[in-house]
Amino acid sequence: MVGELIEINGLAKTYGNARALNGLDLRVMPGEIYGLLGPNGAGKTTTLRITAGMIEPTSGSVIISGFDATKESLQAKAKIGYVAEVPILYESLSPRELLEFAASVRGIDKESLNRRLAQLAEAFDVVSAFDSPIATLSMGTKQKVAIIAALIHQPPVLLLDEPLNSLDARSNKILRELLALHVQKGGAVLFSTHIMEIAQKLCSRIGIIFQGKIVAEGDLDQLRAQTGGKDATLEEVFMKLTHESSEVENIVRSLRESFFENESR
């Protein structure tokens, strides 16, 4: 039996008095795209940053492909490709210099590197930007460079924080196809997004994160079953689980009243 590629147990993280994660548990199996869905500040990015080994949890554990992300961080990081919501790159380097750095540190041989770079740069249409300082590139091109850096070593685990935000339609489609191929090959993806349609279309399972822990997970039918709405959309399920339905209705009602207040006077 094949084990989980990502296993998160009782993850907690506090910043001073603020509690970002509050005992979060999740598992992602090979061949799975797991969508992490939650309101702003729910803990999505913190979860991904801890899983990527960028920050340490206050308590709990993250196991990547059998390696503890804290105690065996080098082995765990070797299995991960991470794309941040806002691309974090060395902006004074060019994409070529940055990708050479990433490939060298990850121990990729020159031939494989050049083959993969040629494919990915062509696919994401960034060849002409290869020698320009990253600081001068558009947000979308930066995001593409970050995606190539995450894919260049063909890791089994991809951690993607809102990766489609700045991408054009072409790159958006290519990335989604790449993710599908990745999971077909037995890889796993932990994916955070705000866009319900993408989560619904792309993810095999969805976890709703709220106040630092997973409050519900499963495919859309399972989530519907948990909220009691048989024909509910993912958005309705999400609103219900994050206790935002009635709050949003009240806010919209109040806004409508104030918008038309002047006209009625």
Residues in the site for other proteins, rule: CB under 8 A?
A: 15-16, 52-56, 73-75, 77-78, 80, 82, 84, 88-94, 96-110, 113-114, 117-118, 121-122, 127-133, 135-136, 149
- Smallest distance, other proteins to C-beta of residue 207, A: 22
225: burial class by Cβ within 10 Å (0-12, 13-18, 19+)?
middle
Q: How far apart (Å, rounded) are the C-alpha atoms in residues 13 and 58?
A: 5
- Smallest distance, other proteins to C-beta of residue 51, A: 10
Residues 6+ apart with CB under 8 A from 231: 224
Distances (CA, A) of 44 to 37, 115, 120, 246: 8, 34, 27, 23
Give residue 50's identity as a one-letter amino acid code.
I
- Smallest distance, other proteins to C-beta of residue 166, A: 17
Return the number of the residue (112 or 246) whose C-beta is nearest other proteins. Answer: 112
DSSP reduced 3-state for 148: helix
Return the number of the residue (52 or 208) whose C-beta is nearest other proteins. Answer: 52
Q: Which two tokens stand for residue 144?
A: 């593409």
Return the number of the residue (110 or 243) whose C-beta is nearest other proteins. Answer: 110
Q: Is the dihedral of CA 256, 242, 59, 31 positive or negative?
A: negative
- Smallest distance, other proteins to C-beta of residue 239, A: 30
- Smallest distance, other proteins to C-beta of residue 162, A: 16
Return the number of the residue (86 or 225) whose C-beta is nearest other proteins. Answer: 86
Identify any residues that bridge with 128 across adjacent strands, giving them in sequence order: none
DSSP reduced 3-state for 111: helix
Residues 6+ apart with CB under 8 A from 123: 174, 178
Return the number of the residue (113 or 209) whose C-beta is nearest other proteins. Answer: 113
Return the number of the residue (8 or 208) whose C-beta is nearest other proteins. Answer: 8
- Contact present, 89 and 128 (Cβ < 8 Å): no
- Smallest distance, other proteins to C-beta of residue 137, A: 11
- Smallest distance, other proteins to C-beta of residue 245, A: 33
Q: Which two tokens stand for residue 241?
A: 């689980």
Return the number of the residue (77 or 213) whose C-beta is nearest other proteins. Answer: 77
